[in-house]
Amino acid sequence: MTLLDDIRPARGSSCVVPPEAAADLVPRIPADAHKYSRGVCELYVGSKDYPGAAVLSSCAANKLACGYVIAYTTSRARAALRAQSPSIVVRDHASFAEVRHEDGPRRPRAVVVGCGFPSSTARDGLLRELSRACAQGVPSVSERPAAACSPESIARVLERSDCPVLLDGGALDAMGSGDVRALLEKRTGRTTAVITPHLGEAARIAQAMRLDGDLAPVALSQAIAEATSTICMLKGSDVWISTPEGSTYIVDAGTWALAKAGTGDVLAGAVGSLLAYGIMPLEAAVLGAHIHACAGRMAGEGLAFGPTAEDVLDRLPQAAGRFMRRTS
């Protein structure tokens, strides 16, 4: 039984989640909390071409509920993160697959993967670039563009992560792999994966899985959630959040101001943080979408052309606080 059960739509239908219902999901941090009890969020993000997505997603995770953020990323993103947010622990991209992820209280409680990994469209170009680079001398492992986002790499992330996993950006191309879908199907309850496609990524997933890509957003989100056994957060002017059981929750609190590069990376990190704190995947998706929408509205207040993703990122803590005040 969860708080959202009160408004759960019947299989195949949808409902709008009012901000009041989302506010009920905001956890109160206990007075005796410590950084590990609040949860470790690990992010395997960024690439040579998109270090910024690693910075935005990791900083977003650090601004919400979890107590400890570890970013596995490329050298440029590590340098940027050290400068912008020294409280985030940074490690080499390649070491994600090598390190023994801590057991006990220090174990990751959520993993975010794929923000800033090139999509299949972008990857075709990068692969050509890689072949050219290889002809001139092999690039360092951590900078190899295609390695991190291959279906095999995403499958390894799923196999190694006994915790909720959120897949975004280039990691979403792995939905086309039967092996990856088999691993996702084994995940239930707390470890159910969350995926965060925008409409373009959703169309690519639908094509790879032979679903009808022309469906309206609610039906498309439901079809993808059921076919991939995930909580699908389909991102557009609203966020359509569907469960593998076939219900869709709509967060319609956003603003055109969020239509700006990088705001999706902020959303991924924010939801990852809530998952790492221990909030169940559906609830984390709904609450994260509401906090993100509220941060977008706050950041856009009085601006003719809206804020940047960095502005939205900066408003996340206050946006979460607004939800708490709404209930008290």
CB of 127 to ligand ADP, least distance (A): 21
- Please tell me the count of residues contacting ligand NPW according to CB under 6 A: 20
- Is 93 annotated for ligand binding? no
Of the candidate residues 22, 40, 48, 50, the single one contacting ligand NPW (CB under 6 A) = 50
277 contacts which partner out of ligand ADP, ligand NPW, none, CB within 5 to 8 A by kind?
Answer: none
Q: CA-based diameter of the chain, in Å?
A: 63
The nearer residue to ligand ADP, 7 or 259, going by C-beta atoms, is 259
Residue 276 to residue 242: CA distance in whole angstroms: 20
How big is the chain, counted in residues? 328
The nearer residue to ligand ADP, 15 or 97, going by C-beta atoms, is 15
- Is 265 annotated for ligand binding? yes
Q: Which residue has the tokens 């593998």?
A: 244
321 binds ligand NPW (CB under 6 A): no
Nearest-CB residue for ligand ADP:
264
Are 16 and 252 a contacting pair, CB within 8 Å? yes
Q: Which residues of 45-68 are buried (b: 16+ CB within 10 A; e: fewer)?
A: bbbbbbbbbbbbbbbbbbbbbbbb
35 binds ligand NPW (CB under 6 A): no
Residue 117 to residue 242: CA distance in whole angstroms: 24
Of the candidate residues 29, 199, 303, 324, the single one contacting ligand NPW (CB under 6 A) = 199
* 19 CB-contact burial (10 Å; exposed 0-12 / middle 13-18 / buried 19+): middle
Site for ligand NPW in 139-178 (CB under 6 A): 169-170
84 contacts which partner out of ligand ADP, ligand NPW, none, CB within 5 to 8 A by kind?
Answer: none
122 binds ligand NPW (CB under 6 A): yes
> Helices 263-277 and 309-327, interaxial angle, to 10°?
40
- Is 174 annotated for ligand binding? no
The nearer residue to ligand NPW, 266 or 282, going by C-beta atoms, is 266
Q: What string of DSSP letters covers 263-287?
A: HHHHHHHHHHHHHHHT--HHHHHHH
Of the candidate residues 116, 281, 288, 300, the single one contacting ligand NPW (CB under 6 A) = 116
Residue 313 to residue 298: CA distance in whole angstroms: 11
Closest CA to 141 of 79, 97, 88, 172: 97
170 contacts which partner out of ligand NPW, ligand ADP, none, CB within 5 to 8 A by kind?
Answer: ligand NPW
Residue 317 to residue 295: CA distance in whole angstroms: 8
Helices (H), 64-160: 75-84, 120-136, 151-160
122 contacts which partner out of ligand NPW, ligand ADP, none, CB within 5 to 8 A by kind?
Answer: ligand NPW
Q: Which residue has the tokens 């086309």?
A: 176
The nearer residue to ligand NPW, 170 or 281, going by C-beta atoms, is 170
The nearer residue to ligand NPW, 58 or 230, going by C-beta atoms, is 58
The footprint of ligand ADP (CB under 6 A) covers 198, 235-237, 239, 254-256, 258-259, 261-265, 267
Residues annotated within the binding site for (6S)-NADPHX are: 53, 116, 198, 265
Residues annotated within the binding site for AMP are: 264
Residues annotated within the binding site are: 53, 116, 198, 264-265
